[in-house]
Amino acid sequence: MLLVASPAGGQWVSSPGEGWVDLTLIHHDTRREFDTTASRRRIFADGRALTRSVFLTANVGLFRGLDTWIQVPLHHLRFDDAGGERRSSGFGDPRAWLRVGPELFGLAPWPVAIRGGVKIDSGTFELDAEVVPLGEGQGDFEILLELGRSFHPRPLWTSGWIGHRWRLENAGAGIRPGNERFWWWSVGGNAGEIGWQGALEGLSGEPWIVQNLTIATARREIVQLFMKADYPVGPGRASLGVRAPLSGRNLPGGAALTAGYFFRWSP
């Protein structure tokens, strides 16, 4: 999962003491990939990539116009090919963000915000052909501009963001991943008690530097479609969805299934 998106909806910064928790499960089982030429093909040597991930994301308002997000992933990864089977399980690289809205500066509330974040190297990257790494072996910094609009009284809204990610060097492997630009745009609404959301998301990266050599073909790209529906269950909402890549480069292909539970609280 490249673009870590939450179903929180809108760009309204949480008020002090308010917040939400989202638990998202992702199942991705594919024998397809996007290669260095952006062509979709079968994974070499009859390969199969299986990813089962759980993302726990929490948000809480700190001050009027300022909130924070924290995300912790747990992965079970498996890769099979003609050479055998490799498995890894454990925590991946956590992320944290601070989000600022106009209210922090005494302005009227608007659904616009600036969010800055960091990905922390969890130390779970191993440079070994027989190991599927749980982390990426380096940290990231990113900044996003978030926008949104509600079409009340109609049960319809739209929101999205655009951002830039600066990727640090994996010194142990001699790899400097290319910086990336990414975006997300969604439209959602309600049909009775059933909520729905459709979104497009994309990422475009710069070439990687490996052992001080710039590899022009080593850059990540993806554009994918995301659709989900949710329904009230207990104090929150349960969801089911699908994420399908439309185009890409140097990333796995194939659709992923998602399931989640979202709960918002207010003091």
Percent of the chain scored above 70 by pLDDT?
94
**Cis peptide upstream of residue 153 (ω within 30 degrees of 0):** yes
**Whole-number pLDDT of residue 109:** 83
Judge contact between 3 and 39, C-beta under 8 A.
no
Helix, coil or strand: residue 193: coil
Q: What is the pLDDT of residues 85-143, one digit of tens each?
A: 899 999 999 999 999 999 999 888 888 999 999 999 988 787 666 678 899 999 999 99
| Alpha carbons 169 and 212: distance in angstroms, whole number | 11
Query: Residue 252 pLDDT more than 80?
Result: yes
pLDDT tens for 4-28 read 444 444 568 999 999 999 999 999 9
Confidence of residue 152 (pLDDT cuts 50, 70, 90): confident
What are the residue ranges of helices labelled H in the chain?
none
For the domain bounded by 19-265, which CATH number is listed? 2.40.160.40
Domain locations along the chain: 19-265
Residue 256 burial (CB count, 10 A):
20
Q: Residue 181 is inside which H or E element, if any?
A: strand 180-191
pLDDT per residue over 167-215, tens digit each? Answer: 999 988 899 999 999 999 999 999 999 999 999 999 999 999 999 999 9
Question: Would you say the C-alpha torsion 104, 106, 109, 111 has a positive or negative sign?
Answer: negative
141, β-bridge pairs: 118, 166
Strand pairing of 140-150 and 32-34?
Answer: unpaired
Mean pLDDT of 34-53: 94
User: Rounded CA gap, 154 and 130, in Å?
Assistant: 54
pLDDT for 161 beyond 90 = yes
pLDDT in the model for residue 220? 95
